[in-house]
Amino acid sequence: MFPTKVKRLLQLRHTLWLCPSFKAACSRLVLGIETSCDDTGAAVMDETGKILGESLHSQKEVHLRTGGIIPTVAQQLHRENLERVVQEALERSVVAPSQLFAVATTVKPGLGLSLGIGLDFSRRFVRRHNKPFIPIHHMEAHALTVRMLQPVPFPFLVLLVSGGHSLLAVARGVDDFLLLGHSMDEAPGDTMDKVARRLSLIKHPQCSTLSGGQAIELLAKDGDRARFPFRTPMGQTYDCCFSFAGLRNQVNMAIMKKEAEEGVEQGTLLSCVQDIAAATQHTVASHLAKRTHRAIVFCKENGLLPSSNPTLVLSGGVASNQYIRKTLSIITETTGLHLVCPPAEFCTDNGVMIAWNGVERLREGKGILPPNVDVSYEPKAPLGVDMIAEVRAAAIRLPSIRIKIPN
């Protein structure tokens, strides 16, 4: 039997361990801050990747009403909400600023006005509390979020599709990426948002609070895509880049034609919105699938992925689309890759993904800066080493794969 004194000490240790602030003191804690676009997010995470507390303020409804993101409006909303969001994340974690080890904040790429709010706040915060600062690349954070949830060893192929980006890259390390392709014009989420706006889906009773991409996914379930056979973009370009502006043009033409046929003004909900949604979604999905297929073949030919259990990670806001996930799964099944998608709440922007990127960097001691260092935000910031010319030079022709998915 333990002497009473030892027993008391063990009891005290047990009580302390249950206390969140004691737990916090045992692990290096990172506060993650995200303001690169239209979400104000903060989260506190321990070094094992456990989320201790988080808070997220979405500007989606405001931007839906104004018909798109107005940078000055986004900036003002970040300014109004960031302090409260950070405070909430800390309170929910039961962690005081003094208990944090470091602050990780998105500094690139994104809307300059939005990034500036997060960076200014973080700069003041780390100076006041004398904490190291970890600047974060938003797309690196999207690419690596999946590793918070399950072990996905480097290297892996990643397709990131959101409202601001579409890119294909090989992730070889926490700060080591090879860029295989990116969008030549707009991002798929942006295209779907614009198509949804052109279709006035906000007036649809089921879609009034949904983002454009979500509205298109919902309506597409009951649509017949064959009624609008849109051309898949860049059929004659044998690289891994994307283009969505031409598709949006095709969709706009089809909408104008339908409006003329039905004798209705722009802004009226057309009877065929479900079919247009289904056709748009299918064309976006098949464009993403074809470019990804080529990227997989390129990686195989150049030994860029492991021969055992090669993985494709699909993430970013558009990756929450189930039809797109299924389409990509046809490609991975055919090519022998393993497809991994984080759940929808980790595909979209939040403070958690930034905190996780901070944790990954902390573990490797990469990019951790002293509190007084001067960091600037960068609205445009390429991801990794640009391999687009090499991919284009390889000009890989693909065997055709039949993409047939029930809606």
Q: Which one of Zn ion, ligand KG4, none interacts with residue 358, CB within 5 to 8 A by kind?
A: none
Q: Are 111 and 71 in contact (CB under 8 A)?
A: yes
Member of 41, 164, 223, 384 binding ligand KG4 (CB under 6 A):
164
Tell me: does residue 183 bind ligand KG4 (CB under 6 A). no
Q: List the structure tokens of 251.
A: 């969709």
Tell me: does residue 109 bind ligand KG4 (CB under 6 A). no
Give the x/- contact pattern for Zn ion in 158-187, rule: CB under 5 A.
Answer: ----x-------------------------
DSSP 200-252: TGGGSTTTTTS-HHHHHHHHHTT--GGGS-PPPTTTT--SS-B--HHHHHHHH
For 69-106, b/e burial (b = at least 16 CB within 10 A) is beeebbbebbbebbeebbebbbebbbbebebbbbbbbb
Tell me: does residue 339 bind ligand KG4 (CB under 6 A). no
Number of residues that bind ligand KG4 (CB under 6 A): 20
Smallest gap from residue 177 Cβ to ligand KG4 (A): 17
Tell me: does residue 211 bind ligand KG4 (CB under 6 A). yes
Q: How far apart are CA 317 and CA 219, in angstroms?
A: 18
Give the x/- contact pattern for ligand KG4 in 9-48, rule: CB under 6 A.
Answer: ----------------------------x-----------
Question: Strands 166-173 and 176-182: what pairing?
Answer: antiparallel
Member of 320, 327, 332, 357 binding ligand KG4 (CB under 6 A):
320
CA distances from 9 to 20, 285, 289 (A): 19, 60, 60
> Which residues are CB-neighbours of 230 under 8 A, at least 6 positions away?
247, 250, 251, 254, 279, 280, 282, 283
For residues 104 and 273, which CB has a smaller minimum distance to Zn ion in the complex? 104
Within 216-255, which residues bind ligand KG4 (CB under 6 A)? 217
Member of 24, 31, 64, 318 binding ligand KG4 (CB under 6 A):
318
Tell me: does residue 274 bind ligand KG4 (CB under 6 A). no
Q: Is cis: bond before 155, omega within 30 of 0? A: yes
Residues of this chain that interact with ligand KG4 (CB under 6 A) are 37, 162-164, 189-190, 192-193, 211-214, 217, 316-318, 320-321, 348-349
